[in-house]
C-alpha cells in the first residue's frame, strides 16, 4: 500500500509542474467556486446533481489539457545564455523513473563544475523512438534551444533496468557524425545510482560543444580550455579521443595563425604528427587524410624556417590527402583539399611564380565544381576571395585587367560575407579590396587610393591588435603604403602617417617571429624615408638604405628571389638619388644592384619590370662611362 501511495505521490509531483500546475489550480478553484454556489439542502440535491455535470466537464477539460501538454507540447525553450540538455522519456520506462533520475543526477554533477553552472538538464515528455532516431531528436532539440538530447529505450526484461541510450548533439553542422549521433552500449541502471558513463558522456559532449562554439567565435584560449576538459573526462572510445585531440591541434593551429604565436603553430604540427600513430591504429583513411590536410595548412601558415621547404612539404601533404579523396566518392573533402593546395601554390615565392599561380587557379576552379554558390555559399565565397588574391599576383603584361578581375572576385565574395555573420571573412575581403585598389593604376589614382584607405579602415573595425594582431599589423602596414602613395600627390602629412603605421606594425612584426613581414615592413619604411621631403634629403636616403639593407637579413636570393630582386631595385634607385659621396661610386652600386635584380626579373616571367629596368640600366651605364675617375 505504501509503495502504491509513493508512486501516486511521485506522479503528482512530476506531473503537476509548470503549466500543468497552473491548469490544475484553475480547475480546483473552479470546482470550489461552483461547490460554494451549489447549496447543500436535501430538497436541492436533484438540482445539485444536475449541477455536477459541468463540474465533471471542467475536470475532463483539465485532464485533456494536461494530456495534450504531456504528449504533444514540448517544454519551454531553454533561455538565452543557457546550455540545455534535454532528456526525453525512455521508451518502455513506464514510471519515467530513469528519466527523472538521470535529470537529477546530471544537474547535481553540473553544479559541481563552476564553468558549467549555466548548463541545465530538464525532462522532455515525449518518447523518441529508434525508428525516428537522431533526426527527430535534433528537430526537438532545436525547438527547445538545447545542445544535447538524451533518449533511448528500455530492455524487454522488465525485471532489470537495462537501457540502450542515445545522445544527439544538436549543432551537427560543425561536429563530425561520430560525435553528433552517438549510440552508447547498453547500461544497467541500479536503484542506487546512474551508470557513470551515462552521466560522464553528456558532460564530455557539453565540453566539446562549448569548445566548438568558442572556436567558431575565434575565442581560441577558451576553446583550448574546454578541449582539455574533454580529454580529462573518462573516455574509452578511441574515436572520441582522436577527434578531441584533432580539434585541440586545430585550435593550436588557428591560435598561432590569428594571434601570431609561432610556438602554437609548431605545437599543432607536433600534435598532428602524434595523431598519425593514434589514427593508424584505428585504421580510418578518411580521418588520416584529414590530418594530412590540416598538417599541410599548418605548414602553409608557419612563418619560420625555410619558406619554400615549408610550402613544398604542405603541397606533399595535400597530394597525399588527394590519394584518399576523389571527386566521385568524397567530393566535399576532395574540394576542400583542392582549395588548400591552391593556397600553397599561390604562396610559393619562386622564380616560376607565374606557373604556380596558374596551378593555384586550376585547383580553385576544380573546387568550384563542388562548391557552388547555392549549395556551399561559404566555401564558394572563400574561393572567390582566393581567385581574387591570385589575380593580384599574376605577372602578366595587362596588370590593370588582372586587378579589375580581382576586384570583381572580391565583390562576389561579399555577396555571402557580411560583417554580422562572417566578421573575419568580411574583414579579410575588405582588406583584399584595399590591396587591389592600392595597386590599381588606372582611372583616377587619388580616388582609387582613397577607396583603398576606406577599405583598410573598414577591416580595422574587426581586426584589433589584441584579438587579431597579425591581421591588424598587416592592415596597418598596407594602410601606411596608401598614405605613402597619397603623399606623392599631395603631402599634407601623409608620409608621417605612413611612417607611424609602419612603426605600429613592427610592434607585432619582429624579425624572429615574423621574418617575412618584418622584412616587408623594413622595405616600406625605406620607401617612406626615400620619399620624405622634410629634413635633410641625403640623410633621409641614407636612412632608407639602412632599412633596405636590413631586409636582406630575410630576403635572400635562394629563399625569396622575387623580394630579393625588388630590394636590389630599391637600393639601386636610392643610390642613384644619393647626392653625397662619389657620384661614380654611387652609380657603380646602382649598376650592381640592377644587374642582381635582373638575375630574377627575366623577360619570360616578369616582362614589365625586366623592360623598365633594362632600359634604365643602359642609361646609367652610359652615364657611368662618361664620368672620369
How far CA 609 is from CA of 562, 598, 614, in Å, comes to 11, 9, 8
Taking only the tens place, the pLDDT of each residue in 384-413 is 999 999 999 887 668 888 999 999 999 999
Which range (108-122, 133-147, 179-193) has the least confidence?
A: 179-193
> Do 127 and 136 form a contact (C-beta atoms < 8 A)?
no
> Do 548 and 576 form a contact (C-beta atoms < 8 A)?
no
334 pLDDT higher than 90: yes
How many whole angstroms separate alpha carbon 468 and alpha carbon 476?
12
Taking only the tens place, the pLDDT of each residue in 531-587 is 887 778 888 999 999 999 999 999 998 888 889 999 998 998 888 888 888 888 888
Angle at 416 between CA 414 and CA 418, to 5 degrees: 65
609 pLDDT higher than 80: no
- What's the confidence (pLDDT) of residue 158? 53
- The distance of Cα 143 from the centroid of its chain, to the nearest Å, equals 26
93 pLDDT higher than 50: yes
CATH of 525-626, one of 1.25.40, 1.10.10, 3.30.70, 1.10.3470: 1.25.40
Strands 148-154 and 83-89: parallel
- pLDDT band for position 192 (50/70/90)? very low
CATH of 282-524, one of 1.50.10.150, 2.40.33.10, 1.25.40.10, 3.30.420.590: 1.25.40.10
Strands 119-127 and 181-183: unpaired
How many whole angstroms separate alpha carbon 142 and alpha carbon 74?
11
Taking only the tens place, the pLDDT of each residue in 452-511 is 999 999 999 999 998 899 899 999 999 999 998 888 777 667 888 999 999 999 999 999
160: closest CA among 87, 105, 98?
98
Assign 3-state DSSP to the chain and report helix, strand, coil percentages, each to 5: 70, 5, 25
Mean pLDDT of 110-118: 82
83-209 with 525-626: one CATH topology? no
Burial class of residue 53 in the structure, from the number of CB atoms within 10 Å of its CB (0-12 exposed, 13-18 middle, 19+ buried): exposed
How many whole angstroms separate alpha carbon 82 and alpha carbon 77?
10
92 pLDDT higher than 70: yes
- What's the confidence (pLDDT) of residue 34? 62
Which range (90-94, 289-293, 418-422, 535-539) has the least confidence?
A: 90-94
Domain boundaries, the chain: 2-71, 83-209, 282-524, 525-626
How many whole angstroms separate alpha carbon 298 and alpha carbon 300?
5
Query: Backbone phi, then psi, for 218, in 5-degree steps?
Result: 65, 25
> Do 577 and 530 form a contact (C-beta atoms < 8 A)?
yes
pTM of the model: 0.68
> Do 342 and 367 form a contact (C-beta atoms < 8 A)?
yes
Cell 580539434 sits on residue: 247
Taking only the tens place, the pLDDT of each residue in 13-65 is 445 554 555 566 666 766 665 665 555 555 555 665 566 567 667 766 766 77
How many whole angstroms separate alpha carbon 388 and alpha carbon 401?
12
- What's the confidence (pLDDT) of residue 256? 87
Q: Which fold has domain 83-209?
A: Rossmann fold (3.40.50)
How many whole angstroms separate alpha carbon 349 and alpha carbon 561?
7
615 pLDDT higher than 50: yes
Amino acid at each position: 500500500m505504501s509503495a502504491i501511495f509513493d508512486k501516486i505521490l511521485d506522479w503528482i509531483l512530476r506531473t503537476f509542474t509548470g503549466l500543468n500546475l497552473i491548469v490544475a489550480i484553475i480547475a480546483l478553484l473552479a470546482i470550489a467556486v461552483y461547490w460554494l454556489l451549489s447549496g447543500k439542502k436535501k430538497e436541492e440535491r436533484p438540482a445539485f446533481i444536475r449541477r455536477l455535470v459541468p463540474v465533471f466537464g471542467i475536470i475532463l477539460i483539465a485532464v485533456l489539457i494536461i494530456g495534450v501538454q504531456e504528449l504533444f507540447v514540448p517544454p519551454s525553450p531553454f533561455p538565452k545564455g543557457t546550455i540545455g540538455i534535454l532528456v526525453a522519456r525512455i521508451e518502455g520506462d513506464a514510471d519515467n523513473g530513469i528519466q527523472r533520475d538521470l535529470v537529477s543526477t546530471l544537474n547535481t554533477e553540473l553544479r559541481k563544475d563552476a564553468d558549467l553552472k549555466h548548463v541545465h538538464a530538464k525532462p522532455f515528455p515525449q518518447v523518441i523512438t529508434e525508428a525516428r532516431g537522431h533526426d527527430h531528436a535534433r528537430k526537438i532539440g532545436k525547438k527547445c534551444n538545447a545542445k544535447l538530447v538524451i533518449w533511448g529505450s528500455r530492455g524487454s526484461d522488465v525485471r532489470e533496468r537495462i537501457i540502450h541510450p542515445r545522445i544527439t548533439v544538436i549543432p551537427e553542422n560543425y561536429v563530425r557524425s561520430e560525435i553528433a549521433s552517438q549510440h552508447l552500449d547498453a547500461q544497467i541502471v541500479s536503484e542506487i545510482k546512474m551508470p557513470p558513463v551515462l552521466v560522464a558522456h553528456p558532460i564530455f559532449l557539453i565540453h566539446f560543444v562549448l569548445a566548438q562554439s568558442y572556436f567558431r567565435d575565434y575565442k581560441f584560449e577558451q576553446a583550448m580550455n574546454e578541449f582539455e576538459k574533454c580529454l580529462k573526462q573518462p573516455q574509452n572510445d578511441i574515436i572520441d579521443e582522436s577527434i578531441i585531440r584533432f580539434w585541440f591541434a586545430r585550435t593550436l593551429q588557428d591560435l598561432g595563425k590569428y594571434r601570431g604565436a609561432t610556438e602554437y603553430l609548431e605545437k599543432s604540427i607536433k600534435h598532428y604528427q602524434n595523431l598519425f600513430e593514434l589514427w593508424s591504429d584505428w585504421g580510418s583513411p578518411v580521418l588520416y587524410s584529414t590530418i594530412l590536410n590540416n598538417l599541410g595548412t599548418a605548414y602553409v601558415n608557419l612563418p619560420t624556417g625555410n619558406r619554400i621547404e615549408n610550402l613544398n612539404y604542405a603541397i606533399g601533404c595535400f597530394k597525399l590527402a588527394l590519394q584518399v579523396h576523389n571527386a566521385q566518392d568524397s567530393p566535399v573533402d576532395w574540394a576542400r583539399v583542392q582549395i588548400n593546395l591552391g593556397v600553397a601554390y599561390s604562396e610559393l615565392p619562386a622564380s616560376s611564380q607565374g606557373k604556380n599561380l596558374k596551378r593555384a587557379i586550376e585547383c580553385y576552379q576544380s573546387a568550384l565544381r563542388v562548391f557552388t554558390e547555392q549549395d556551399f555559399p561559404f566555401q564558394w565565397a572563400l574561393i572567390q576571395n582566393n581567385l581574387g588574391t591570385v589575380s593580384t599576383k599574376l605577372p602578366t603584361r595587362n596588370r590593370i585587367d588582372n586587378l579589375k578581375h580581382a576586384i570583381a572576385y572580391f565583390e562576389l565574395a561579399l555577396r555571402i560575407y557580411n560583417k554580422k555573420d562572417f566578421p573575419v571573412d568580411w574583414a579579410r575581403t575588405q582588406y583584399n579590396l584595399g590591396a587591389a585598389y592600392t595597386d590599381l593604376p588606372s582611372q583616377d589614382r587619388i580616388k582609387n587610393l582613397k577607396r583603398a584607405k576606406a577599405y583598410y579602415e573598414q577591416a580595422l573595425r574587426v581586426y584589433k591588435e589584441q584579438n587579431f594582431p597579425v591581421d591588424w599589423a598587416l592592415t596597418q602596414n598596407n594602410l601606411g603604403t596608401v598614405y605613402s602613395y597619397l603623399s606623392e600627390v599631395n603631402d599634407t602629412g601623409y608620409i608621417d602617417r605612413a611612417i607611424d603605421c609602419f612603426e605600429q606594425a613592427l610592434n607585432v612584426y619582429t624579425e624572429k617571429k615574423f621574418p617575412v613581414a618584418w622584412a616587408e615592413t623594413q622595405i616600406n619604411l625605406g620607401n617612406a624615408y626615400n620619399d620624405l621631403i622634410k629634413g635633410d634629403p641625403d640623410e633621409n636616403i641614407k636612412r632608407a638604405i639602412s632599412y633596405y639593407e636590413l631586409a636582406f637579413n630575410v630576403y635572400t636570393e635562394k629563399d625569396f628571389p622575387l623580394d630579393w630582386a625588388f630590394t636590389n631595385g630599391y637600393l639601386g634607385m636610392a643610390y642613384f638619388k644619393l647626392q653625397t659621396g662619389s657620384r661614380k661610386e654611387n652609380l657603380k652600386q646602382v649598376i650592381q644592384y640592377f644587374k642582381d635584380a635582373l638575375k630574377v626579373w627575366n623577360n619570360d616571367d616578369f616582362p614589365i619590370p625586366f623592360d623598365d629596368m633594362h632600359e634604365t640600366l643602359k642609361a646609367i651605364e652610359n652615364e657611368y662611362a662618361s664620368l672620369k675617375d
